[in-house]
Chains A and B, each alone.
Chain A
């Protein structure tokens, strides 16, 4: 098990190297001169710009700039913000819990829907629940999270006034307030994951209940609860968890837009602010963190997969 995790971590290393290089290279796309931005924008004097360029080593060769940046990043130093002059990592540290909270809330909401709906649909394929969940899934595929977010705002915040249209409170200061603020964003993101997981779970369960080992479970006299619950669901959970992981990783992109709609001070919000002001270290930092979150998710999925699937666990 530990060997499996270690090996999986090792395979992430080359990917991370390429990813960090990609993130670093983002700077070079910029049509504006980073030194100008860092020196204070259009009002900066020529001397300031020259000095800043030297300070930021912008005249060094590309590889040496990259390794300098990478060396910092490995030690948790993502450079200073061009605009605020404070370390990017501080800002990111402040904002990671916000985005993580949103992702977790969205995932929990999705599972809250998907587990019962997937099981009920899987137990009675083509029954009423199954048909309903199919319609739900079709709509979830077609409606992007940010469109759904807007509709939710109109209905629940503007018309019904049940929930605030935007804003944020820390979970630490008031969990209930946090929930009121996070509910609509989490639902907008969670609906799509919920749909995918529902259908995956349903399909896996239906397939599972037709397998030979389920026939064995019936043959030894298992009750329906035992056969479906202990044998069917346990096996069906394996592919379903993979989908949860893939979906949550894909959701990371969606958080950027949804944070914007609901004015949630997370990483995505920071990223957009940095984009507007051309704050390249901040952009790099945000993208890097979001990639790491997505890679981390797939790592967690792999490990969970191994926990549930003895074939991988024992031989791995």
Chain B
């Protein structure tokens, strides 16, 4: 048994068509996404489903050929040999009437399995027709059919089966009838939901528009797509039917004796062998459990290969709220003590920071030897495309890169002279939200939805200081006013989902500023917002920065924002800083072709060309970083020498001595800046 699958079985327990729920439909109709061709081969290449399939095949064969394989007649009593222990002549022993248990078990499988298959076949046939019609025709028909289905689904499944079977009386036919009724509702709902979803797909719309007949659309367009979810539901359904059948038989509502099913064998051994030979309970018990397990594993496997829903469950990791640091030993000794000369006055100095992510293809160095300083009160921009490593760099300062898969593999980050990378969680936590704060890209999801704005603001204060409710409330109001939120009293009582994106980001800023941090890290704080709101948020940040005198690390892909807000800027590409310097210098005389490209791609008022330039190609993946210049493949100025050896970051020729560039041709190229 593949225990890894159990979560999906349980969390999607509504795959058993006995249980209602829209989620079934939602997760199952996706099954149509992948072709069914070769699905069986893919299924059998997995160990769990393979074992289950082999077991079930043997079981079904034994049941079909029961008269040929059983050693004894199942219902012939031998009173001289009651409760025999397992032996070579009776592999599983004999029951209270001296009947061979193995023979009865195999004949019982015959009954149990044929009931299950019959039930699912009947329920499927009806469910398919009703569901297809209901889903495709829609309107009143659908409404009435679904009301009835809802009613049927609100019966606890076993209760309905017991009542129907009980009134009809024992017998295999009645069991099949009563269980079919139970399963019809779930399957109908499933087919209807899938049909409904597929009906809206473009290819069905196209068929309809082309004038295909309804019956043709149902048979050739919809049915093939409903097949996969139905197959999956049927497999889980058989497991459910097996439980229900055994339950009915246990209650005496199964086949008439002496014919046995697994459920009635269970009841018999409980009634008659409980004290004489209690282990006999295990014979039908284990058979039932193994068979349920086999069908469940098979259903699970089917769902994976037919591509419905989560096929690959992401490997999740423990979350301890701090990034692991695994620096080479000598480096820790060399740099952990203090920031290097010339940078003592910096508020933050990131020194040779490297961050790696473990992945299926080995460690990927997404931030490589990045150094950056921020002086008190300074606003520094960190610019780059997606995948350049700018966000990871900024999260590293907070030690918020999720570990695993991320870990800091080298370097130091000094904040007020202290190496953040050598701090414990507790020490780090005391800095977070007090001296260093952070706001994030996605205000829609960055606030806990279950607390009011007031509670969240209060929490930001009480974590770090003793505050009375009244003091905290007053301060919260003050903070909301500071970030320009109108009617702050009302906002305090609201939840995140009641606020617009812009307001949420203002609340986020208020939370970040609650304890007057010295450094604010803003990771694309306006990217997710509307253009007009973006400008407001940026204005707010600029005025708050001036007012409070804090330093800001502004992470963005938008050079226009940098020009607006920042004193200095560092441009990152493929995990490295490629150019750094005062904003003015970089805009006027970029020294790296990538910076030139970014500037060219920036819309500017008054530019003559009608077209924006683009940089061809994409940022390479961390595994594919070349040895030489990482930008060479996309660079118009690249020469052979660019690709031979790693390119170092050197002092550039800008007016400021702090400007740096990583390009072998920096001296010789004259690049175009922004006007």
Contact = CB atoms under 8 A, between A and B. Distances in A.
A49 interface: no
A290 B433 CA distance: 53
A217 interface: yes
Contacts of B6: 134, 137-138, 141, 199
Contacts of B14: 246
A250 B156 contact: yes
B321 A15 contact: no
Contact of A256 (B162, B274, B285): B162
A250 to B, nearest CB: 7
A203 B449 contact: no
Contacts of B251: 256-257, 260, 272
Interface string B35-55: 000000000000000000000
Contacts of B293: 138, 141-142
A215 to B, nearest CB: 6
B447 A216 contact: yes
Given A146-B250, A150-B266, A216 B446 contact: yes
B632 to A, nearest CB: 35
B247 A257 contact: yes
B7 A137 contact: yes
A18 B155 CA distance: 11
A19 B151 contact: yes
A218 B321 contact: yes
A141 B10 contact: yes
Interface string A248-283: 011011101100110000000001100100101001
A146 B162 contact: no
Interface string B393-434: 000001010100000000000000000000001000111111
Contacts of B450: 231, 234-235, 308-310
B266 A22 contact: no
B152 to A, nearest CB: 7
Nearest to A22: B151
Nearest to B246: A144
A291 B159 CA distance: 8
Contacts of B168: 29-31
B19 A227 contact: no
Interface stretch (B459-467, B590-598, B621-629): B459-467
Interface stretch (B207-215, B310-318, B529-537, B650-658): B310-318
Nearest to B160: A287
B10 A283 contact: no
Contacts of B18: 250
B260 to A, nearest CB: 16
Nearest to A154: B278
Nearest to B2: A138
B166 A275 contact: yes
Residue among A146, A272, A291 with the highest chain B CB neighbour number at 10 A: A146
A220 B432 contact: yes
A212 interface: yes
Given A15-B151, A134-B3, A291-B156, A311 B288 contact: no
B281 interface: yes
A124 B452 CA distance: 29
A55 interface: no
B85 interface: no
Contacts of B278: 154, 158-159
B275 A158 contact: yes
B154 A219 contact: no
A220 B156 contact: no
B164 A221 contact: no
A224 B426 CA distance: 9
Nearest to A222: B463
B281 A221 contact: no
Contacts of B243: 144
Given A151-B281, A280-B167, A137 B10 contact: yes
B129 interface: no
A272 B147 CA distance: 29
B430 A224 contact: no
Interface residues of B, number: 93
B449 A246 contact: no
Contact of B163 (A146, A200, A283): A283
Contact of A272 (B21, B154, B166): B166
B159 A216 contact: no
A293 to B, nearest CB: 8
A186 interface: no
Interface residues of A, number: 95
A216 B4 contact: no
A1 interface: no
A134 B7 contact: yes
Interface string A192-206: 000110011011001
Given A147-B266, A254-B158, A210 B402 contact: yes
A247 B446 CA distance: 32
Nearest to B511: A220
Contacts of A147: 246, 266, 285, 288-289
Contacts of A127: 318
B497 interface: yes
B315 A220 contact: no
Interface string A69-90: 0000000000000000000000
A82 B357 CA distance: 73
A282 B169 CA distance: 16
B433 A221 contact: yes
Given A26-B163, A222-B463, A290-B156, A257 B429 contact: no
A213 B497 CA distance: 13
A49 B639 CA distance: 107
Interface in A142-160: 142-144, 146-147, 150-151, 153-154, 158-159
A6 interface: no
A257 B263 CA distance: 12
A306 B243 CA distance: 33
Nearest to A218: B321
A314 interface: yes
A64 interface: no
Contacts of B546: none
A-B CB proximity, top 5 nearest = A253-B158, A18-B151, A275-B166, A221-B433, A220-B433
Interface of B: 1, 3-4, 6-7, 9-11, 13-14, 18-19, 21, 147-148, 150-152, 154-164, 166-169, 243, 246-247, 250-251, 253, 266, 270, 274-275, 278, 281-282, 285, 288-290, 292-293, 296, 315-322, 398, 400, 402, 425, 429-434, 437-438, 440, 442, 445-450, 452, 459-460, 463-464, 495, 497-498, 508, 511-512, 514
Interface of A: 14-15, 17-19, 21-22, 26-27, 29-31, 123-127, 131, 134-135, 137-139, 141-144, 146-147, 150-151, 153-154, 158-159, 165, 195-196, 199-200, 202-203, 206-207, 209-224, 226-227, 231, 234-235, 243, 246-247, 249-250, 252-254, 256-257, 260-261, 271-272, 275, 278, 280, 283, 286-287, 290-291, 294-295, 308-311, 314-315
Given A139-B289, A221-B430, 17 more contacts: A17-B151, A19-B151, A22-B155, A142-B292, A158-B274, A202-B7, A213-B447, A215-B400, A218-B400, A221-B432, A243-B11, A246-B14, A246-B21, A272-B162, A283-B166, A287-B160, A314-B497
